[in-house]
A and B are shown apart, each in its own frame.
Chain A
Amino acid sequence: MSPFLFWFFALLMLGFGVSVVINRNPVASALSLVASFLCLAALFVGLNAFFIAVIQVLVYAGAVMVLFLFIIMLLDLRAEQRRRFNLVALGGGTLVTLGLVAELASVLNRFPLGRNPFPPLQGSAVDDVREVGMTLFSTHNLPFQITGVLILVATIGVVVLSKRELN
């Protein structure tokens, strides 16, 4: 990926990320998050990870955020828009964020591997869907199955909870 495109999408993603937090209108926040996801997907494309990029768009932008938006629109969130900035909270949040960034920077600076460039990827000839599938079903089969059971339990829980009357 050319550095130009990387910086373009990375900055765009960060911009939309900030816009998620500072927007007072919940719909605007949700849409910023969608845009941020799309930029992230573009970064994945830049790494030749098409499968991850597409799943990012399909699952997060296409399904999860649609549900979010759906709920936001059904609820009347006028109160959220009227709320004023709380200076103390704002200052505290900024301090915590700056501290986290400083910590990350110092750790990464001391971590030598981070400075070595990765070996170049082997073009787009890799069928990454096949690779992901092979890895999931061979090396990581047990965690995969356990995740499946977990999701099944969650699904049953949702169905039980959303049933109106429990007899």
Chain B
Amino acid sequence: MDFLNSIPWFLMATSLAKTIFLVFLVVLPMVSYTVYAERRVSALIQDRLGPNRTGFPLTLLGFKKDFSPFLGGLGQPVADAVKFLLKEDLTPGHVNKPYFWLAPCLAMMPALVTLSAIPFGSEFMGVKMVIADINVGLLFMFAISSVGVYGIVLAGWASNSKYPFLGGIRSSSQMISYELCMGLSAVPVLLIAGSTGLSKIVDFQVREGWLLAPFTDGNLSLRELLLWVPVGVAFITFTISMFAETNRLPFDLPESETELVAGYHTEYSSMKFALFFLGEYTAMIAGSALIVVLFLGGWHVPFMPDGRAGWVWGLLNIGTFFAKVAGLLFFFIWVRWTLPRFRYDQLMKLGWLYLFEIALVNIFLTAGILALCK
């Protein structure tokens, strides 16, 4: 079989190892603990405590006391997962079955696939810490996340009932609109870094300082000072679009409880619902990771050596990257429990009349600055 011989085994093995590490050891635990953080932080913001006492209910088996081995409620995600797996999986009679089953998978998959282009660390034991180092990484992220809308649209349509349908319609138009803003607000970054490869953007920021904090390379030139304005604007518009793309409050109209019960996943239960939930949070993590890569220097720690200097530094870089992502996730949660939901026309107006124009003007501004200060 020369087909088998043509496969580069080392590449395959490291890619597999990286995929398993990223998906099963980092992102999925991160997703479940983001859900936990969501509940805990929302509780703290609202002067409550939140889930803080999850353990094993040993009293059910006849023991004297329950066993709570985790600090506070850290066992909550485990309990949630078990609950989701054990709940009755109900498929209503009026749904369009094949699509009803397909939709949750389509909601979860793209979010996970986008992670493959993210450089989540510098180098570790001589292996680059990115699963697919393609030179169109950013476009790849946009492309795959734009496919993510199918899950929601199909869920809304296949459920064959009014609230999911309205949720699906809202979601698809919202995601199409904000994809434009998101793409356009990332263009200044591409102009400055001169590449669409995510690794190259990070390399640029390692050399010249983070885009949002250009002093991290130790000096601050006039050009960087001038570029700070468009980069700041791009950061704000990009972050706002990311909120809309991931259907987070204040733009969570597809599932606004007060109007649509639960939006596109109203008819779903058990693990199928959990897949939507996981997909939403994975998309959030992928989005935060993208913001970190584009604006916050990726895995870079200022004034420290990177992974080429030894495996300790490699680990540090990976840790830094996910710490930055976690910080952004906290910001996502914080915003969610602060702002009220937008009205639908306000959302469309914001996207098409303001963010879109601001992003366009911002591109011209960046190009002008780049042309003037060589």
Q: Mark B127-169, 1 if CB is under 8 A from A, else 0.
A: 0000000111001101110110110011011000000010011
Number of interface residues of B (CB under 8 A): 30
Q: Which residues 152-203 of B have a CB within 8 angstroms of A?
A: 153-154, 156-157, 165, 168-169, 172-173, 175-176, 179, 195-197
Asked if A62 is an interface residue, CB under 8 A from chain B, the answer is: yes
Assuming the contacts A54-B136, A58-B143, A62-B143, asked whether A27 and B150 have C-beta atoms less than 8 A apart, the reply is no
Instruction: Please report whether the interface of chain B is mostly helix, strand, loop or mixed according to DSSP.
Output: helix
* A74 CB contact (under 8 Å) in B143, B144, B154, B169: B169
Cα–Cα distance between A67 and B169 once the two chains are bound (Å): 10
B6, B135, B197, most chain A CB atoms within 10 A: B135
How many whole Å from B173's CB to the nearest CB in chain A?
7
Q: Which of A3, A31, A54, A73 contacts B139 (CB 8 A)?
A: A54
* B221-237 interface with A by 8 A CB criterion: none
B101 interface residue per 8 A CB criterion: no
User: B176 touching A27 by the CB < 8 A rule?
Assistant: no
**Are A70 and B6 within 8 A (Cβ)?**
no
Question: Chain A interface mostly helix, strand, loop or mixed?
Answer: helix
- Determine if B99 is an interface residue (Cβ-Cβ < 8 Å): yes
Q: Mark A105-148, 1 if CB is under 8 A from B, else 0.
A: 00000000000000000001001111000000000000000000
| Minimum CB distance partner of A50 in chain B | B136
Considering the chains assembled together, what is the distance between the CA atoms of A124 and B150 in angstroms? 30
Which A46-99 residues have C-beta < 8 A from chain B?
A: 50-51, 54-55, 57-58, 61-63, 66-67, 69-70, 73-74
On chain B, the residues within 8 Å of A73 by CB distance are 153, 156-157, 165, 168-169
A78 to chain B, nearest CB (A): 13
- Complex alpha-carbon distance, A74 and B172, angstroms: 12
Closest to B2 in A: A2
Q: Tell me whether B3 is interfacial, beta carbon within 8 Å.
A: yes
Contact between A51 and B139 (Cβ–Cβ < 8 Å)?
yes
B99 with A27: CB separation less than 8 A = yes
**B135 and A129 contacting across the interface, CB-CB below 8 Å:** yes
Q: A-B contact count, CB below 8 Å?
A: 79
- In angstroms, Cα B141 to Cα A54, docked, is 9
**Which of A55, A58, A70, A129 has the most C-beta atoms of chain B within 10 angstroms of its own C-beta?**
A58
Interface residues of B in 14-54 (CB under 8 A from A): none
Q: Which of A3, A61, A124, A127 contacts B147 (CB 8 A)?
A: A61
**Contact of A55 with B3 at beta-carbon distance under 8 Å, contacts A62-B179, A70-B172 already known:** no
Please provide the 4 A-B residue pairs with the shortest distance between their CB atoms, ordered closest to farther: A62-B146, A58-B143, A57-B143, A54-B139
What are 20 A-B pairs with beta-carbon distances under 8 A? A2-B3, A50-B135, A50-B140, A51-B136, A51-B139, A57-B144, A57-B146, A61-B143, A62-B143, A62-B146, A62-B147, A66-B146, A66-B150, A66-B172, A66-B176, A69-B153, A69-B172, A70-B173, A124-B135, A129-B136
